[in-house]
Amino acid sequence: MIKIRDIHDERVSAYRNLRERELAHIYEPDPGLFMVESPKIIERALNAGYQPVSVLMDERMNDEHLALLPYFKNIPVYVASYEELTKLTGYTLTKGAMCLMQRKKLLSLTELLHDAKRIAVLDNVENPTNVGAIMRSAAAMNMDGVILTDGYADPLYRRASRVSMGTVFQIKWTIVQKGVYERLHENGFKIAGLALKEDAIDIRNKQLNQEEKLAVVLGNEGVGLSDASLKEMDYKVIIPMHHGVDSLNVAGASAVAFYQLTCHQ
């Protein structure tokens, strides 16, 4: 273990600056790096086959920290006081552990759709917290995969993976910048978009659950699905609500939709 006594030590510069977008693209065109926070989330990433580059931990290690050490035999293990960790990273480190990891090559859409029956599409969902929560719901409700389109928040951003409780490492996902709806139709999927439109059908409509292959589309937090995206939908779908509530946060809506559209399979 390597004790960090100076927060400006170049060996921990990635943790100090925490520019996640730069880390993601650092080795382009090859996959870059990303940060994972908290022992449980780090362990789930490791178990999913992600390779650690280095780790930074509170020097007052508890059992969760100690349980991770066997994974880190061949990489630098940096330790510092809790106070120094806060100064170094610029925020309170969740459970005193952060790991720099190597990204994997993205799945192709063909790989993601192989044998899939229920897919989630995040159409311009920009908030990492929402992406993480949606990933968690998708995994919990047994969706077969998640597709993110242009404008997405990266599922491997620290906040997204933490909010997902590590399910971003357990469910299949990929990014498709253009032509996703055409590709879904080519692969036999019907597409259902959540939208507050007059011609939308109730999500409990039996025909939806009877579709052999269904993609469930969630739109942007502020404006929902664009007109261009809506034209690609086979179904526009609403979740019935009460007490004058007209909509749910996109993460909450995802949990309801995924449950309803997988529960009869």
> How much is the pLDDT for 263?
67
> How much is the pLDDT for 248?
87
CATH of 109-261, one of 2.40.70.10, 3.40.1280.10, 3.40.50.170, 3.40.50.1000: 3.40.1280.10
- Phi, psi at 91, each rounded to 5°: -155, 170
Query: CA 222 to CA 180: how far, in whole Å?
Result: 21
Q: How far is CA 99 from CA 52, 69, 73, in A?
A: 7, 12, 14
> How much is the pLDDT for 164?
97
Query: CA 225 to CA 210: how far, in whole Å?
Result: 24
> How much is the pLDDT for 89?
87
Q: Residue ranges of the domains in the chain?
A: 2-102, 109-261
Do residues 219 and 248 touch, judged by C-beta distance below 8 A? no
3-state SS of the chain is: CEECCCCCCHHHHHHHHCCHHHHHCCCCCCCCEEEEECHHHHHHHHHCCCEEEEEEEECCCCHHHHHHHHHHCCCCEEEECHHHHHHHHCCCCHHHEEEEEECCCCCCHHHHHCCCCEEEEECCCCCHHHHHHHHHHHHHCCCCEEEECCCCCCCCCHHHHHHCCCHHHCCCEEECCCCHHHHHHHCCCEEEEECCCCCCEECCCHHHHHCCCEEEEECECCCECCHHHHCCCCEEEECCCCCCCCCCCHHHHHHHHHHHHHCCC
Query: CA 206 to CA 197: how far, in whole Å?
Result: 19
Q: Which two tokens stand for residue 130?
A: 């929402």
> How much is the pLDDT for 264?
57
Residue by residue, pLDDT tens for the chain (265 residues) are 899 998 899 999 888 866 888 889 888 888 999 999 999 999 999 999 999 999 999 999 889 999 999 999 999 999 999 888 888 888 777 788 999 999 999 999 999 999 999 999 999 999 999 999 999 999 999 999 999 998 899 999 999 999 999 999 999 999 998 999 999 999 999 999 999 898 999 999 999 989 999 999 999 988 999 999 999 999 999 999 899 888 889 999 999 999 999 865 5
Q: Which two tokens stand for residue 258?
A: 């995924």
> How much is the pLDDT for 247?
83
Say which amino acid occupies 92: T
CATH class given for the domain over 2-102 = alpha beta
| pTM reported for the whole predicted model | 0.92
List the end-to-end C-alpha distance of the chain, in Å, as a whole number: 50
Query: CA 247 to CA 76: how far, in whole Å?
Result: 48
Phi-psi region of 55 (alpha: psi -120 to 50; beta: other; left: phi over 0): beta
Do residues 180 and 85 touch, judged by C-beta distance below 8 A? no
